[in-house]
Amino acid sequence: MSAAATGRSLLDDLARFANGPGGPLAVFVWAFAEAVALPVIPDVLLGLLLLAAPRRFVVLFGSLCLGSLAGSLLLYALTVAGPDTVRQGLLALPGINRPMVTAAAATVASGSPTCLLLFGPGTPLKVFTFAWASGAISPVGFLPAVILNRVSRIAPLALAQAGLGLVAPDFLRRHVRVVLGLYGAAYLATYALYLA
């Protein structure tokens, strides 16, 4: 099998996965886990699936938002029930420290849903969820804040990845190894900088 055929096969397999029930379910589960404790963002899987199946943007991004909401609700409830236990768990995760938790508390103090607008990398959603649930803040704006966070932080890059999948599907399939190598390297570099 030629390299081009291998690339076509790999991205076609990803497209089939994204177009079936497995893709949205995997994105939901990853987003749920990341909203509670997983240190790796769901964007990693979402972007890969959007390069292969860009027309599934609404379904895949919607699954991510629903997973983030469900995970955030669980973490909110766990925080209300045992804030010290959740704080210790968060501080044990890579990339999360006490100054970040303190800064998140100041960020959410207004209780406005717009306080979680975040463009690009930054404080994990789980830290904001902990801050919101452990502070004396009205829970009314929490769920809209989670959605605004996902839309502002994840949607711009996801739309660009879907756009690339739409305008250059043949290029992506012809050069799949290079594309996947660059994709993986970009996330590894991002995490190396974030965790440094």
Q: Is residue 92 part of a domain?
A: yes
8 A C-beta contact, residue 38 and residue 56: no
What pLDDT does 4 receive? Answer: 53
Q: What angle do CA 93, 160, 143 make, to 5 degrees?
A: 50
- In whole angstroms, how far apart are CA 113 and each of 21, 128, 142, 189? 31, 11, 6, 31
What pLDDT does 154 receive? Answer: 94
Average pLDDT over every residue of 117-137: 89
Q: Name the domain count of the chain.
A: 1
Cα(57)–Cα(166) distance, integer angstroms? 11
Task: Kindly report, residue by residue over 13-56, the tens digit of the pLDDT.
Answer: 999 999 999 999 999 999 999 999 999 999 999 999 999 999 99
Q: Is residue 195 part of a domain?
A: no
Residue 70: give the domain boundaries.
3-190
- With 90 as the cut, is the pLDDT of residue 61 above it? yes
Q: Is residue 196 part of a domain?
A: no
Q: Which two tokens stand for residue 123?
A: 């404080």
